[in-house]
Amino acid sequence: MKRLEKIAALKRLGLDLGEIAQVIDLYFVDPIGLRGKEKVLEILERHQAETTARLRELGRFREELDANIARMRRLIAELQGDATAV
């Protein structure tokens, strides 16, 4: 039962099944679970770095979207202006 509880706790932390497989045995070979905790910390720090990188990419994408939306609005306004001038 303890193993299932540990797996559930690791899932709640955001670890996928592959990462849980890397960690789970470490908790049970070390009486205080230090090695398991160190591995979880390593994984969480990697998740944090990946998330930060993705957020930067999303920020750049958002800026591109904003610029494209503004460009389309200007083009539409220009075309509407040309259509009323005819």
Where are the domains positioned within the chain?
2-85
- The pLDDT, as a whole number, for residue 33 is 86
Smallest Cα–Cα separation from 2: which of 51, 39, 36? 36
Cβ-contact 20, 44 below 8 angstroms: no
Positions of the chain with pLDDT lower than 50, given as ranges: none
Strand extents, DSSP E, 10-63? none
- The pLDDT, as a whole number, for residue 83 is 75
- The pLDDT, as a whole number, for residue 5 is 93
- 35 Cβ contact list (under 8 Å, min separation 6): 26, 27, 29
Whole-model pTM? Answer: 0.72
- The pLDDT, as a whole number, for residue 28 is 84
- The pLDDT, as a whole number, for residue 85 is 67
Token digits for 6?
Answer: 């540990």
Smallest Cα–Cα separation from 51: which of 23, 14, 17, 18? 14
